[in-house]
Structure formats: structure tokens, C-alpha cells
């Protein structure tokens, strides 16, 4: 089941923070880095965010979260995290498809680390097209994808 999270509420922001910490710790290892900006986000940051968070629940347990920014001309996936205990169950795919199916009139943009093979495979399997690659100031090789709406 997928539902919108009320991230402005402290209890929800804490749940988001915990899951982001679990998932992004794994991604930092995949990328081979120790300092990773997503791991530095605070609970208050989630509470004050203007983005929207949707959660995937598996047997009433929070298993994954997608964070999106719905702009006038595009949808940006800012974060996609899955509880490491729930990897390889299609939860990330379900969340991305949920966003794609509810925002079909706008293109969808997402970025990830080049060394994050599972994320790259996911976006490519869903028809995202690579737009560019670059190296961040922190030395992280990134890739940006775009999926155009089906109209």
C-alpha cells in the first residue's frame, strides 16, 4: 500500500529520517564515500521540506519512501529509499511507477550515483533515458535520467 506521509508532523519526520539513514548508509558504501549529503539531513529538514513524501507499506511496516518535487513543468524524484531488509522486492519500482502513473502529463527527472547499480538498473528498466553524467564537488560521479510522459 502506498500513502502520502504528513512529513510536517514530528512523528512522521522521525520515521522518514530513520529510513533515509538506513538506506543511504548502504548507498554511501556502494559509492565508496564516507561523507554523503543525504545522511546529513535532519529531522527538522524533513519537517520543513516543501516536497511530497509517499511511503510504501509492507504488512503495515514502512518499507520504502519516494520524495518528489512537483514543479510546473516537471516532476523531480529527490529521493527514493528502501529499507535494506526489503531490498529486491520491487518496492522502489512500485514507488516510481506510482509517481509516473499519477503525473503522466509531465516529464520526470531523477539523479543517482553512477556506482549505484541497483538504482541505475531500476530507472533504465522503467524507460528513463540518460541525460548527462558529471562529477560533484565531493567527487561523486552522478547520472541524470528523464522519462517523458506517455501521451
**Contacting residues for 53 by C-beta, under 8 A, at least 6 apart:** 4, 5, 7, 12, 16, 46, 65, 66, 67
Residue 57 backbone dihedrals phi, psi, to 5 degrees: -110, 135
In this predicted structure, what is the pLDDT of residue 132? Answer: 98
Euclidean distance between the first and final Cα of the chain, in Å?
Answer: 26
Kindly report the CATH number assigned to the domain that includes residue 35. Answer: 3.40.630.30
| Cell numbers describing residue 50 | 516543501
| Mean pLDDT by groups of 10 residues along the chain of 151 residues | 97 98 95 91 98 96 97 96 96 97 88 96 98 94 92 57
In this predicted structure, what is the pLDDT of residue 138? Answer: 86
Q: Which CA distances in Å does 73 have to 107, 138, 148?
A: 7, 29, 11
Q: Which domain holds residue 75?
A: 2-147
pTM of the model: 0.95
CB 114 within 8 A of CB 143: yes
Number of domains in the chain: 1
In this predicted structure, what is the pLDDT of residue 51? Answer: 98
Q: What is the DSSP pairing of strand 2-4 with strand 52-58?
A: antiparallel
In this predicted structure, what is the pLDDT of residue 6? Answer: 98
Amino acid at each position: 500500500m502506498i500513502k502520502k506521509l504528513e512529513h510536517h508532523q514530528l512523528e512522521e519526520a522521525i520515521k522518514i529520517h530513520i529510513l533515509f539513514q538506513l538506506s543511504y548508509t548502504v548507498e554511501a558504501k556502494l559509492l565508496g564515500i564516507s561523507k554523503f549529503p543525504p545522511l546529513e539531513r535532519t529531522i527538522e529538514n524533513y519537517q520543513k521540506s516543501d516536497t511530497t513524501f509517499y511511503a510504501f507499506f509492507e504488512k503495515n511496516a514502512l518499507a520504502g519512501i519516494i520524495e518528489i518535487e512537483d514543479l510546473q513543468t516537471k516532476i523531480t524524484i529527490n529521493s527514493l529509499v528502501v529499507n535494506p531488509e526489503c531490498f529486491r522486492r520491487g518496492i522502489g519500482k512500485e514507488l516510481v511507477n506510482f509517481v509516473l502513473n499519477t503525473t503522466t502529463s509531465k516529464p520526470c527527472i531523477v539523479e543517482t550515483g553512477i556506482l549505484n547499480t541497483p538504482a541505475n538498473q531500476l530507472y533504465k528498466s522503467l524507460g528513463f533515458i540518460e541525460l548527462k553524467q558529471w562529477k560533484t564537488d565531493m567527487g561523486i560521479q552522478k547520472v541524470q535520467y528523464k522519462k517523458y510522459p506517455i501521451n
